[in-house]
Amino acid sequence: MKKCVNVLCCLLMVSVISFTMVSCDKKKYAMNELEDLVKTIDENGANYSDEEWEQVLEEYNKITDEMSEYDYSSKEAEHIGDLKIQFAKLVAKYRVSAILDDTKQFLFQIKGAVEGMMNWLKNFF
């Protein structure tokens, strides 16, 4: 009977340790995914289409949702905060660039409209 209890205790301890290790691996994996995403965007984001940026935002949300399931040390939390700020800067850079491109196109349209109006006025008078 004592042997059986000892074996059950050992199995329980092994199970707890295994679960802890798996949880730790998943926690680290989520952090690594965020690091990889930030690095990839930093290197390639300038060439992304709007659709690719939408996919990036979906991936980021998926990663951060997964990360919210785990407890992180203060050092890990600081690193995660840094990665989130890096990500936000890259997204802001993309959005500012997109706004500038849209503004540039709008200004060309205004220029064309003004030139068209000037030609119409020349012909009218």
pTM recorded for the entire structure: 0.64
In this structure, is residue 31 part of a structural domain? yes
In this structure, is residue 120 part of a structural domain? yes
**pLDDT for 117:** 81
In this structure, is residue 4 part of a structural domain? no
Range of the domain at 114: 27-124
CA separation, residue 111 to residues 75, 105, 119 (Å): 54, 10, 12
What digits encode the pLDDT tens for the residues 77-121? 999 999 999 999 999 988 776 665 667 676 777 777 778 788 888
The helix/strand count (H/E) of the chain reads as 3, 0
| Location of structure tokens 């995914």 | 33
**pLDDT for 4:** 43
Return the sign of the alpha-carbon dihedral for residues 37, 38, 40, 41.
Answer: positive
Give the residue, 61 or 18, on which the prediction is more confident: 61
**pLDDT for 111:** 75
In this structure, is residue 3 part of a structural domain? no
Residue 114 DSSP code: H
Tokens of 49: 């289409």
**pLDDT for 89:** 93
Share of the chain above pLDDT 90, in %: 47
